[in-house]
Structure 1
Amino acid sequence: MDTPSTLTESKGLFPYDADITMKNLTGHSSAHTGALPKSDDEVQFNIVLRRQRTRTSGKPKLKAVPSRFLNLTDDFEFAGWGSIFRIALSREDLAHGHNALLEARNQRVLGQFSASALAANDILGGVFYTVPSVFAISGVYSPLSMFVATLTLFFWRPIMEELGSALPISGAPYTYLLNGSTKAVALVGAALLLLDFAATAVVSAATASSYLAGEVAFPFPLYIGALLVFVLITAVSLLGLRESARIASGVLTFHLLTLLALAIASIFAWASVGTHQLRENWIAGQAGLSSFAPILKQVFNGVCISMLGMTGFECAPAYAAKMRPGTYPKVLRNLHISAMILNPAMMLFVLALLPLNVQTHENVLSLLAQKVAGRWLRIWVATDAVIVLCAGVLTGITSACELLAELAHDHVLPRTFLAVLPYTKALYVSILSFVGFSGAIYASTGANLIVVSKMFSVAWLSVMTLFPLSLILLRFSRPRLPRPSRCSLSCVVGTGLVAGAVSAGSIAIDPTIAGWFALYFLGLLVFFSITDNKVAILRWVYWMYDQVPILHQLRHTQNWGSKLTHAMKRLKRQEVCLLVRTDEINQLFNMILYVQHNEETSCLKIVHFHDGTVPSEMEANIKILDEAFPEITIDLMLVEGDFSPKTVAALAHRLEIPTSLMFMCCPGLTLPYPVADFGTRVISL
């Protein structure tokens, strides 16, 4: 840390305070000294200095306010007075900032096909577990239900394109909510995302075990096979072999060839046998449907379950920061078109070539392959299913690890979740924690794939609802944020209505699913609330300890108070930066309020980049705010240089504060740099 040149670190007083008489501090001139009259700016600042000079050193301003603790001290609530620093970034700092910016830009390497492949393995691999589930609900109307479900993505695409153009950053939609609202709202999104990733992993593992069991006789139950898939993919993850774009592209190529071969064989078989099986299925499926209303209900229920076939579409925004410029909208288009063609086509082939009594079989596509081409194609399809679904498990683990790492960087989770193995660099704590959570979900449902699949549908719809919600919050809270792509408000409202209707329909099919979903979701939300409010919880524990005076006398418990205060101080040591451009006290006050309500810290640094001229009331207002928030030490750092991604990265290196803990107000069209290049959080207008 630099030695302050304008204010001493211990009391926050300027070195030249000793040369100022008390009359000078009030703004009155001294005739015998020949002092010149003070300007208004000096008067305002000197009044602040006078208030701080006249109080006892180190005592908080609010000492007269009664303490909530009747028997113990509340001195730990006072964080100390702030200081003013003037910083000139060194060449080493600027070089580090330049390299960090280049490294971030060089990560944007994914082209259209490779970027599409990462999510397409999920969205196209979902056909293996979606087909039997939809046929069980929608019957002969399943192809229509699936096609209508794919059409709903026309609502989401423009919304996701606008969000991606405004904030092309990783971790969406958690990061969308974090930049457009409060941390508490963002944690709701994080809980839904983690539940979605867990459901993805569980359903993929269970379905892979089912397809493998259709070809090889297991000497154990199916759920043991699913657990073995988890063990295998966990070992792969711990070895550091994460799903890369090249591996994903290879898996997708093999999967597309498999579906193409199955489709061609099905077309020839259909042409050979005719429409006899289709007519039988249609007549049998119409039994009991005497009016339009039950048919419409059956189609709608099928649409609700068919949303399982769209899973993976929500993964594309999570790695938008790694795509080349202009690639993201094309990726969304590719995912949508492929799902709209292939998924309904597979369902139509099943309806036309297989009898109704086998259409709900878990290995239905293997049975279709056996029907249209023989054993060789069945083995090919089963192999493809196992590979793609295992890749889905790996995608769930990898996506969850990235989310858990983001939460650890944002101090929601302990830094332990960033621990890596020495050689493979795998995030072993995050991997094992997520796999354990996924296993708990699978075990608590009695290893029932149908229950997990239905809950998966609700979780996915909840995650997709976050996108229109994020856009509404972003438009209201950050209206000046530049975005090349825009969608209409009617599209946003319509998407919300569609998501709400389909979610309600999914729950209406089986109301018990709402209970399972609420159980896991609320459990995650409570966990995140506890980990994000550690100091607040310790303060409550300290208060309860204070209410029992006898504990202060016992030999084994009398030191609890000092241990609790030490723990609270340690948890609040992490420094946070506010990047400000103005000295308007109302804006500074609101930004500090955001930090106070969303981050557990007692060390705040307000940073202003300047070219030699500092706003006239900047220092005085910071001193006032330092007094207004005695629980936070507020330092002012005046940095020479222009405000740019390079200088922000250089300052982060100088202060050893990650850019994820640097906050700024919403930039406008005049800022010549993309907001994503800064790596900071946007917290105000």
Structure 2
Amino acid sequence: MTQQTPRTQAAPAPPEGSIETSWDFPGWGTAETITDLGSEPVQVTHLDSGDAHKLGMWRSTAICGNDITSSCLYVTAIAAFYAGPYAPIALALVAAVLYLYRNVYAEVGTALPLNGGAYNVLLNTTTKGQASLAACLTILSYIATAVLSADAAMHYAHNLYGGLPIILATIGLLGLFALLNIFGITESATVALVIFLFHILTLIVLVFAVLPAAWAHREILAQNWSHPMPGGAMKAIFFGFSAAMLGISGFESSANFIEEQKPGVFPKTLRNMWGIVAVFNPIISVLALTLLPLAAITARPEDLLAHMGLVGSGVWLQKWVSIDAVLVLSGAVLTSYVGVTGLVRRMSLDRCLPQILLRENHWRHTNHWIILGFFALCASILAVSRGDLLMLGGVYTIAFLSVMSLFAVGNILLKLKRGRLPREIRASWFAVLLALASTCTALLGNVLIKPAYVRVFLFYFLSAAAVVGLMFIRVQLLRLILAASESFLERRGESNNKFSHWIMAQIQEINGRAVIFFAEDDTLPMLNHAAIYVLENEQNKRLRVVHTYVHESDIPQDLAKNIALIDHIYPELRIDLLLVQGEFGPQLIERLARRLGVPKNYMFIGTPSNRFPHSLASLGGVRLIM
């Protein structure tokens, strides 16, 4: 039962001629009580996932491991191109930076165990606009991942069929996975595990199979080591380190599906990925420098490992490595499609992107506009780069390092703003700052390597940011269009009520949706902060403050009066009070979301303490705003 209850303080009538009397005034708030929300168990739904916590360590490692370990198929040649004989040192430094980021990611993941990576942590520690910029960088990283992986896969496939047209085949592979995703064939954890294990086996076989030949030609290593590098060793290591950071791209992917992992699995996936990268990348680099002249390494960036197999052990190993490369790189393409679909869908649900992207086809219920749009962007960046691996790697690395740096910034904000939030792992301030400085240094190095790559990066990033920016100011744009059209028609002595009413309806539809804030008490600063957050971050003009109680005596005495006061301070925001009888928790949130029709990503809470009886992930997507 919902009861309308009077406010303890009457709302004054708005003065004549003020904005409060205009057609888009949201109105003064009311107070209601819900006493029949129910106590029967309901299935708690999650915003980004179905059944939460279902993947174990190895399947979770496989999904993100295919992404990060696929980079070893091309990063060795890229590191050698810039660092020359110092490539193993550059790759070892990359592994050291990744070690620092293990705890940086683990702290955030255990404090905010929600899908979304950098977008999620910034959404819960700063403004929605800043989180959206991180999401744009992540989208660009996904685009570069898909294109780079597909292009490298087709270069390795060229070893299996010499007549393969690389560019057309790359577009075909990207198109194939677009169709697979539209038809609902997405990543299977079991298939990912099989590919991952086969890939690790291939790397082990490659290392031991070429080792005898490398030892027999060890004089090549001495020749490579004596190769002079322009600018000296330090400059070579700096630029090699910067470019070699591409070898840890994919490390962030585990944070994008953390809700699908069992408790305690997320930090283990980070450990496993670090271990694989720290072992294989430097070893393969040393073997390449021992087996091949430096000029031969830098001449084969697209399929170096297959060439190593051919020189070190014969055609059979070249074919084996090529087959493995096609499989694991194709898996990375599929991961990109799945990841970007989830991220763009989440941003659309948060109304950071157009709602048309949420449309589903009738036969498979997949978001075809997201998938087709992603394919179009991938095809365009492939056309711009003409399949140049160094350009693709440069754009990819800039986007990836930007996202990684923002994750470190998110960790710092988490420490400063959400210090009370429980977490299982804490990264030291020294480790976080050193990790952030390392990725920023690598980012600077990539900018200096080739400024032209920055122009390509900025074009795509600013295009995505412009779309998001338009979504944040769409109400103002609609008002501008309305004012311009009415002024034009007034000068001509005409009227167009239909168009004006349509614009007004669009604005009211955007503003009229409610957001919910669960208030624990009647503290004025807390209520004021919630109102300011909604005004600064949401398009909504209606805030429903919900207080849950078991007994009426538990209701804070001044809650209604204080909410009425905040409501009068901000007349552009309607603030309602909703008293809900029941115990706060996932079940109550689920029942209330269904009753009011408010998505959980439009429900907010303050930062819980160590005594909070529920995990943040169990609340199904509820956000933190203070």
- TM-score (normalizing by structure 1): 0.86
Following superposition, the deviation at residue 558 of structure 1 comes to 5.8
Q: Is the 8 A contact 1:606 1:636 kept in 2?
A: yes
Query: Within 5 Å, which residues of 2 pair with 1:44-193?
Result: 45=8, 48-49=9-10, 51-52=11-12, 55=13, 61-65=14-18, 75-91=22-38, 94-96=40-42, 99-100=44-45, 106-193=51-138
Match of 2:219 in 1: 276
Separation in structure 1 between the aligned mates of residue 233 and residue 94 of structure 2, nearest angstrom: 16
Corresponding residue SS for 1:638: strand
Answer yes or no: is 1:479 the counterpart of 2:422: no
- TM-score (normalizing by structure 2): 0.94
Separation in structure 1 between the aligned mates of residue 504 and residue 491 of structure 2, nearest angstrom: 16
Separation in structure 1 between the aligned mates of residue 46 and residue 206 of structure 2, nearest angstrom: 47
Q: Is the 8 A contact 1:663 1:680 kept in 2?
A: no
Answer yes or no: is 1:247 the counterpart of 2:186: no
Answer yes or no: is 1:636 the counterpart of 2:577: yes
Following superposition, the deviation at residue 206 of structure 1 comes to 1.0
Distance 1:477 1:537, change over 3 A: farther
Match of 1:450 in 2: 390
Query: Within 5 Å, which residues of 2 pair with 1:276-355?
Result: 276-283=219-226, 285-286=227-228, 294-355=232-293
Q: Is the 8 A contact 2:600 2:621 kept in 1?
A: yes
Distance 1:267 1:670, change over 3 A: same
Separation in structure 2 between the aligned mates of residue 602 and residue 145 of structure 1, nearest angstrom: 52
Separation in structure 2 between the aligned mates of residue 3 and residue 87 of structure 1, nearest angstrom: 5
Following superposition, the deviation at residue 562 of structure 1 comes to 2.5
Per-residue Cα deviation, 1:97-120 (whole angstroms, up to 9, x for no partner) = x55489979521211111111111
Answer yes or no: is 1:463 the counterpart of 2:408: no
Per-residue Cα deviation, 1:487-523 (whole angstroms, up to 9, x for no partner) = 2111121112111111111111112222222222122
Q: 513, 523, 527: which one pairs with 1:574? A: 513
Per-residue Cα deviation, 1:276-306 (whole angstroms, up to 9, x for no partner) = 32233333x23x66xxx61111011111111
Match of 1:23 in 2: none
Distance 1:113 1:680, change over 3 A: closer
Corresponding residue SS for 2:149: helix
Bigger drift between 98-107 and 508-517 goes to 98-107
Separation in structure 1 between the aligned mates of residue 200 and residue 373 of structure 2, nearest angstrom: 33
Following superposition, the deviation at residue 534 of structure 1 comes to 1.8
The runs of 5 or more residues in structure 1 that have no matched partner are 8-13, 15-44, 56-60, 68-73
Separation in structure 1 between the aligned mates of residue 507 and residue 316 of structure 2, nearest angstrom: 65
Following superposition, the deviation at residue 235 of structure 1 comes to 1.6
Match of 1:31 in 2: none
Distance 1:668 1:357, change over 3 A: same
Answer yes or no: is 1:256 the counterpart of 2:255: no
Separation in structure 1 between the aligned mates of residue 3 and residue 403 of structure 2, nearest angstrom: 48
Distance 1:194 1:77, change over 3 A: same
AA partner of residue 606 (structure 1): V
Per-residue Cα deviation, 1:24-66 (whole angstroms, up to 9, x for no partner) = xxxxxxxxxxxxxxxxxxxxx3xx32x54xx4xxxxx254437
Separation in structure 1 between the aligned mates of residue 128 and residue 18 of structure 2, nearest angstrom: 30
Answer yes or no: is 1:664 the counterpart of 2:611: no
Per-residue Cα deviation, 1:118-138 (whole angstroms, up to 9, x for no partner) = 111011111122122222111
Per-residue Cα deviation, 1:536-581 (whole angstroms, up to 9, x for no partner) = 22123233345546457336x5643322212111222322111111
Corresponding residue SS for 2:34: strand
The share of aligned pairs that are identical, in percent, is: 28
Corresponding residue SS for 1:616: coil
Separation in structure 1 between the aligned mates of residue 613 and residue 315 of structure 2, nearest angstrom: 61
Corresponding residue SS for 2:259: helix
Corresponding residue SS for 1:76: coil
Distance 1:637 1:301, change over 3 A: same
Distance 1:577 1:62, change over 3 A: farther
Q: Is the 8 A contact 1:551 1:558 kept in 2?
A: no
Answer yes or no: is 1:653 the counterpart of 2:591: no
Following superposition, the deviation at residue 200 of structure 1 comes to 0.3
Q: Is the 8 A contact 2:62 2:192 kept in 1?
A: yes
Separation in structure 2 between the aligned mates of residue 64 and residue 76 of structure 1, nearest angstrom: 11
Corresponding residue SS for 1:577: strand
AA partner of residue 171 (structure 1): G
Answer yes or no: is 1:604 the counterpart of 2:603: no
Corresponding residue SS for 2:501: helix
Answer yes or no: is 1:210 the counterpart of 2:155: yes
Distance 1:680 1:259, change over 3 A: closer
Q: Is the 8 A contact 2:3 2:34 kept in 1?
A: no
Per-residue Cα deviation, 1:185-217 (whole angstroms, up to 9, x for no partner) = 101110111011111001011111211223323
In our comparison, the structure showing a higher alpha carbon Rg is: 1
Following superposition, the deviation at residue 228 of structure 1 comes to 0.9
Separation in structure 1 between the aligned mates of residue 46 and residue 450 of structure 2, nearest angstrom: 50
Q: Is the 8 A contact 1:578 1:606 kept in 2?
A: yes
Q: 616, 638, 645: which one pairs with 2:557? A: 616
Q: Is the 8 A contact 1:608 1:637 kept in 2?
A: yes
Distance 1:313 1:564, change over 3 A: same
Distance 1:617 1:131, change over 3 A: same
Following superposition, the deviation at residue 615 of structure 1 comes to 1.1
AA partner of residue 185 (structure 2): L
AA partner of residue 226 (structure 1): T
AA partner of residue 23 (structure 2): F
Q: Is the 8 A contact 1:311 1:460 kept in 2?
A: yes
Separation in structure 1 between the aligned mates of residue 444 and residue 575 of structure 2, nearest angstrom: 48
Aligned residues: 622
Bigger drift between 149-158 and 170-179 goes to 149-158
AA partner of residue 623 (structure 1): A
Q: CA RMSD in A?
A: 2.3
Per-residue Cα deviation, 1:319-350 (whole angstroms, up to 9, x for no partner) = 12222222221111110010010111111111
Q: Is the 8 A contact 2:46 2:621 kept in 1?
A: no
Distance 1:501 1:559, change over 3 A: same
Separation in structure 2 between the aligned mates of residue 379 and residue 552 of structure 1, nearest angstrom: 75
AA partner of residue 237 (structure 1): N
Corresponding residue SS for 1:180: coil
Query: Within 5 Å, which residues of 2 pair with 1:403-418?
Result: 403-418=343-358
Q: Is the 8 A contact 1:608 1:638 kept in 2?
A: yes
Q: Is the 8 A contact 1:175 1:186 kept in 2?
A: yes
AA partner of residue 606 (structure 2): C
Corresponding residue SS for 1:118: helix
Answer yes or no: is 1:370 the counterpart of 2:310: yes
Corresponding residue SS for 1:321: helix
Distance 1:530 1:499, change over 3 A: same
Bigger drift between 190-199 and 417-426 goes to 417-426
The runs of 5 or more residues in structure 2 that have no matched partner are none
Query: Within 5 Å, which residues of 2 pair with 1:586-605?
Result: 586-605=525-544
Separation in structure 1 between the aligned mates of residue 319 and residue 512 of structure 2, nearest angstrom: 59
Q: Is the 8 A contact 1:89 1:651 kept in 2?
A: no
Distance 1:551 1:174, change over 3 A: farther
Following superposition, the deviation at residue 378 of structure 1 comes to 0.8
AA partner of residue 632 (structure 1): L
Query: Within 5 Å, which residues of 2 pair with 1:493-642?
Result: 493-548=433-488, 550=490, 553-554=493-494, 557=496, 559-611=498-550, 612-613=552-553, 614-642=555-583
Q: 428, 438, 444: which one pairs with 2:378? A: 438
AA partner of residue 124 (structure 1): T
Separation in structure 1 between the aligned mates of residue 168 and residue 459 of structure 2, nearest angstrom: 24
Separation in structure 2 between the aligned mates of residue 654 and residue 104 of structure 1, nearest angstrom: 21
Separation in structure 1 between the aligned mates of residue 46 and residue 150 of structure 2, nearest angstrom: 39
